[in-house]
Amino acid sequence: MRNFDSLQVTALVIQTIEVIFIAVYFGSYGVSDSMYVSDLLFSAVPYRVLMTIFVVMQAIFALLFVFRLYSCDIVLFSVAGVGLVATVVGWITLNTQYLADDGTTSDTHKYGTLVFMMGMGAYFACLVFSI
């Protein structure tokens, strides 16, 4: 068992707050207007800005911790590092285009969301596992 690390805790707390924020914002504004989370992302600028701040903050703290893994666990370092890169790439991608010309959700948004969620899941699992 490794020592509990403040960077791990900070990254996990930020990610937990982000999930709570999404749930509260979506519950307050999305459900009543029959909107999806992505609808809110592209229609409510404050939501998009706050979500981007959360993503950047959690990526920074997770990255700081991941750098520490290099010397003690190269496998966790690799998985968490790839997960962080995927998270950032996915976030940028999913924010570039929401709707296609025909009004459906664009493939760009779908794949960006998938990459974002998979990346976040990978490095989150590494952070939790390394506690």
Residue 1 is assigned to a structural domain of this protein: no
The string of pLDDT tens digits covering residues 30-44 is 777 777 888 888 988
Residue 76 is assigned to a structural domain of this protein: yes
Give the residue numbers spanning the domain of 111.
6-129
Structure tokens at 24: 């509260």
pLDDT of residue 9: 80
pLDDT of residue 47: 87
At 1, the pLDDT band (50, 70, 90 cuts) reads very low
Count of domains for the chain: 1
pLDDT of residue 4: 59
User: What is the percentage of the chain residues whose pLDDT exceeds 90?
Assistant: 37
